[in-house]
Structure 1
Amino acid sequence: MNDQSNKSSSPMFSNSLMSADDALEFLIDSAQVSEHTEITSLDDSIGRILSEDIHSKINVPGFDNSAMDGYTIALDEKKLDSINQTFSVVDRIAAGSTGKELKKGNAARIFTGAPIPKGANTVIMQEECQASEDGSEITISRSIELNENIRPTGNDILKNDVILKTGKKIKPEDISLAASVGIGELHVFKRLKVGVFFTGDELVEPGNSLTVGKIYNSNRYALVALLKNAGCEVLNLGNIKDNFDSTCGALEKLSNDCDLIMTTGGVSVGEEDHVKPAVEKLGSLSLWKIKMKPGKPLAYGQVKNIPFIGLPGNPVSSFVTYCIFALPYIKKIQGNSNFKNEPIKVKTNFDCKRAKPRREYARVKIDYSSEIPIASLYPKQGSDVMSSVVWADGIIEIPENTVFDTGTILDYYPLSELTR
């Protein structure tokens, strides 16, 4: 094939392999937080990313209130050490109602959440109060302290407090908190629109019959599912013809309609790998080969100023490079402040007797029965063995140029965190 590319001048792009750490740092530094925001209702905000801090306009609670069912008392402070005190019950205060002012020596029946009336200075739970037969008096055998069982104004939240911060991925409890201060709408980043397409004349859609030399296109469904799981809107062109012109056409279309373009396969150096030269014709590549396994041919660049990420074609390679490199990049663009993958320390149930030149991301299952979790390898770690990902709890990071014995502590990433 003739060279139809415009070589990138980026110092990060060369024919040598880049370390995984340098590649991830380069991708993260290249990610620009979106400037596109919108307003959404609380009901539609789950999983979205906040684009501004949320301040409370009120105190929560907005008034002193009872923490339990019982009696609120206007206690004479001179009688704090007294026992067997009797109080006249002069009122009944339910949640949502307001009681009358209490004079010293009087009490009111009160229920959880009801406002503390003026004059009252403590609440005694009903189990500790002995009521007279007609309910007009109560006697409390023990000594009483001031402010028992009273939730003071602003006990949870003070007016003008920041209750939710920019960059937070909204969870159900965040929605509840916003509602508790009277906020009905949230400012969020717009969903990232990611355009995808897939090349390879050997690919067949699931549901159809296979002929000799053909395989089912699992990468298409994995990538779309991963992107949707990350809260992205996906424009899927599906399978396109495996040639240079069709690849250029798909890239041009997506560059007009999307915030990010992603593909799987076609970024290696074979004569039938058209994605890399097509990207170089329409834009530039800044990153290509990474010193890792599975993976290596991970491409990053621009197509007419729209970011492009090309994942490898083997299914495990595509899955792992998405989790380790592409998802943190996507999260940062989305405005998510928690975009970095945070490892957990685990102990290996295997050794490594031969140092390997590339960092490996191996599929493991975790045994949590010991103080430090123990990681066991799936027996087949090939880049084509997608069943290893389904079997695994997560991915363990095996450093390059390293040998170690069983029981060595390494970094581990749960799949539950790597895919959301």
Structure 2
Amino acid sequence: MEWLEARSTVHTLGGQVPRTTEVLPLADAVGRTLAAAVHSLTALPSFASSAMDGWAVNGDGPWALGTPILAGDPPADTPLAPGTARPIATGGCVPAGTHGILRSEHGLVGPSVAGGPATLTRLPQAGAGEPAAGEHVRARGEECGLDERMLEPGCLLTAPRVALAAVTGHDTLTVTALPDVELLLLGTEVIESGIPGPGQVRDAYSPEFPALLTGLGLRVRALRRLPDDLGQTVEAIRSSTAALVISTGGSARGPADHVRAALAALGATVLIDGVRMRPGHPVMLARLVDGRLMLCLPGNPLAAMLVLVSLGMPLIDGMLGRPLAGLGRVALAHDIANLSGSTRLVAYRNTDEGAVPTARQGSGMLRGLAEADGVAVVPPGGACAPNQVATLPLPW
């Protein structure tokens, strides 16, 4: 399957996985996925308020001063009379009859005369017509009206979006429940700690995959390490109960690769068997007999990471009901060759001249990705500077 087609396909397949929802207090909703549209429960602002510290004025100055209006004070019972002004704090309720708000730095209060009210005059640095009609007044409903659609289902609840829900009257939000994921790390040669000996390699996945997948919106239920053994691989997949199973290694066709045979023994349906991408082409996606999905990553570290980013993220977004994230763009500082018929994913650094590929990008290497600012999507045939190429959205 072509890489772009695979990216769209996994997102669609993820969207077919049944979802459940839960209702959370706003403080717990940041970072979650909204499951139901949010409508405003009030106009915003719900009353005309001052956008500045200053004076609410009516008519031409000088103005006779009345009592101050502070934020949180109830609305005035009577309109502001012509020729008068009232000190007002930012957020204060603007009385009816107000022409506009004179900024605090543009007015001068003089003493009262013969027991009368103090007087406000306009300073020379203020314009002759200041304030203009409605100036520095936040009109009722200026940001939104009652029952306006504010947030769409499937959006990531960022801090500003949760704040918007709060100011429009909400105390809770309905979010998509976190799908469970189980990790199966395959490979007899893989060790958990220490310096690998001859024929051994360090586990590159368990230190960061749980945190990475949690950040993508999953709940990690279990992480299991398995040798290259068909029977143990079959049993691990059979005994899993998570909505998504992710394996590393064993997806190619070598003598120690048993994932394909294990899926066949379990009656699973292989939905994707290889993608035209480098690195990462041995990726597989299967549907288990009970409808759950299994994403089979290659064993090489760079290949596994780039498959997770380019195909795993769209799959997870689909499971959460999120839209497929768009690709970015970056201008190249150097030509990037691609003589294969596959999409090539290339880690790069940003420079003043444009994107420059990092060194050491073999499928079994991680140094090039660790030093990168992004990942470029280079089509078959390559790409020439200073043209732009697509870039992957990254979760770090």
Q: Is the TM-score greater than 0.5?
A: yes
Match of 2:119 among 119, 137, 144: 137
Q: Please report how far the alpha carbon of residue 404 of structure 1 lies from its aligned counterpart in structure 2 after TM superposition.
A: 5.2
Counterpart in 1 of 2:14?
Answer: 31
Give the Cα–Cα distance (whole angstroms) in 1 for the partners of residues 86 and 385 of structure 2. 68
Q: Please report how far the alpha carbon of residue 406 of structure 1 lies from its aligned counterpart in structure 2 after TM superposition.
A: 4.3
**What letter is aligned with 1:331?**
D
144-153 vs 170-179, which moves further: 144-153
Structure 2 CA distance for partners of 1:154 and 1:390, relative to 1, 3 Å: same
Structure 2 CA distance for partners of 1:405 and 1:63, relative to 1, 3 Å: closer
Query: SS in structure 1 opposite 2:178?
Result: coil
Question: Is 2:160 the counterpart of 1:180?
Answer: no
Contact 2:12 2:318 in 1 (8 A): no
Match of 1:332 among 315, 318, 321: 318
Query: SS in structure 2 opposite 1:321?
Result: helix
> Over residues 222-245 of structure 1, what are the superposed CA-to-partner deviations in whole Å (9 max), with x where a residue is unaligned?
432321220210122321243111
Q: Please report how far the alpha carbon of residue 191 of structure 1 lies from its aligned counterpart in structure 2 after TM superposition.
A: 0.6
Counterpart in 1 of 2:358?
Answer: 378
Give the Cα–Cα distance (whole angstroms) in 2 for the partners of residues 223 and 90 of structure 1. 64
Counterpart in 2 of 1:294?
Answer: 279
**What letter is aligned with 2:231?**
D
Structure 2 CA distance for partners of 1:166 and 1:214, relative to 1, 3 Å: same
Report 1:340-419 matches (<5 A).
340-352=325-337, 355-367=339-351, 369-370=352-353, 374-400=354-380, 402-403=381-382, 405-413=384-392, 417-419=393-395
Give the Cα–Cα distance (whole angstroms) in 1 for the partners of residues 322 and 12 of structure 2. 14
Alignment: residue pair count: 382
Give the Cα–Cα distance (whole angstroms) in 2 for the partners of residues 95 and 409 of structure 1. 51
Contact 1:91 1:100 in 2 (8 A): no
Give the Cα–Cα distance (whole angstroms) in 2 for the partners of residues 114 and 323 of structure 1. 49
Give the Cα–Cα distance (whole angstroms) in 1 for the partners of residues 383 and 204 of structure 2. 35
Q: Please report how far the alpha carbon of residue 209 of structure 1 lies from its aligned counterpart in structure 2 after TM superposition.
A: 5.0
Give the Cα–Cα distance (whole angstroms) in 1 for the partners of residues 372 and 77 of structure 2. 64
**What letter is aligned with 1:29?**
T
Structure 2 CA distance for partners of 1:226 and 1:43, relative to 1, 3 Å: same
Match of 2:213 among 227, 234, 239: 227
Q: Please report how far the alpha carbon of residue 395 of structure 1 lies from its aligned counterpart in structure 2 after TM superposition.
A: 1.2
Over aligned residues, Cα RMSD in angstroms?
Answer: 2.0
Structure 2 CA distance for partners of 1:64 and 1:271, relative to 1, 3 Å: same
Match of 1:96 among 72, 88, 91: 72
Structure 2 CA distance for partners of 1:153 and 1:252, relative to 1, 3 Å: same
**What letter is aligned with 1:66?**
S
**What letter is aligned with 2:19?**
E
Give the fraction of aligned pairs with identical amino acids, expressed as a percent.
Answer: 23
Q: Please report how far the alpha carbon of residue 74 of structure 1 lies from its aligned counterpart in structure 2 after TM superposition.
A: 2.8
Structure 2 CA distance for partners of 1:406 and 1:118, relative to 1, 3 Å: closer
Counterpart in 1 of 2:48?
Answer: 64
Query: SS in structure 1 opposite 2:209?
Result: helix
Q: Please report how far the alpha carbon of residue 31 of structure 1 lies from its aligned counterpart in structure 2 after TM superposition.
A: 2.2
Give the Cα–Cα distance (whole angstroms) in 2 for the partners of residues 210 and 381 of structure 1. 21
Match of 1:314 among 292, 297, 300: 300
Question: Is 2:254 the counterpart of 1:270?
Answer: yes
146-155 vs 40-49, which moves further: 146-155
Give the Cα–Cα distance (whole angstroms) in 2 for the partners of residues 228 and 403 of structure 1. 35
**What letter is aligned with 1:218?**
A
Report 1:246-261 matches (<5 A).
246-254=232-240, 257-261=241-245
* Normalised TM-score (structure 1): 0.86
Give the Cα–Cα distance (whole angstroms) in 1 for the partners of residues 57 and 356 of structure 2. 63
Give the Cα–Cα distance (whole angstroms) in 2 for the partners of residues 294 and 117 of structure 1. 66
Give the Cα–Cα distance (whole angstroms) in 1 for the partners of residues 383 and 14 of structure 2. 35
Contact 1:279 1:302 in 2 (8 A): no
Give the Cα–Cα distance (whole angstroms) in 1 for the partners of residues 314 and 299 of structure 2. 20
Q: Please report how far the alpha carbon of residue 123 of structure 1 lies from its aligned counterpart in structure 2 after TM superposition.
A: 1.8
Structure 2 CA distance for partners of 1:408 and 1:129, relative to 1, 3 Å: closer
Query: SS in structure 2 opposite 1:218?
Result: coil
Contact 2:226 2:232 in 1 (8 A): yes
> Over residues 125-154 of structure 1, what are the superposed CA-to-partner deviations in whole Å (9 max), with x where a residue is unaligned?
122223212461112363353222211111
Question: Is 2:150 the counterpart of 1:163?
Answer: yes
Query: SS in structure 1 opposite 2:356?
Result: strand
Counterpart in 1 of 2:229?
Answer: 243
* Normalised TM-score (structure 2): 0.91
Contact 1:252 1:303 in 2 (8 A): no
Query: SS in structure 2 opposite 1:317?
Result: helix
Give the Cα–Cα distance (whole angstroms) in 2 for the partners of residues 386 and 403 of structure 1. 22
Give the Cα–Cα distance (whole angstroms) in 2 for the partners of residues 130 and 408 of structure 1. 59
Contact 1:122 1:148 in 2 (8 A): yes
**What letter is aligned with 1:184?**
D
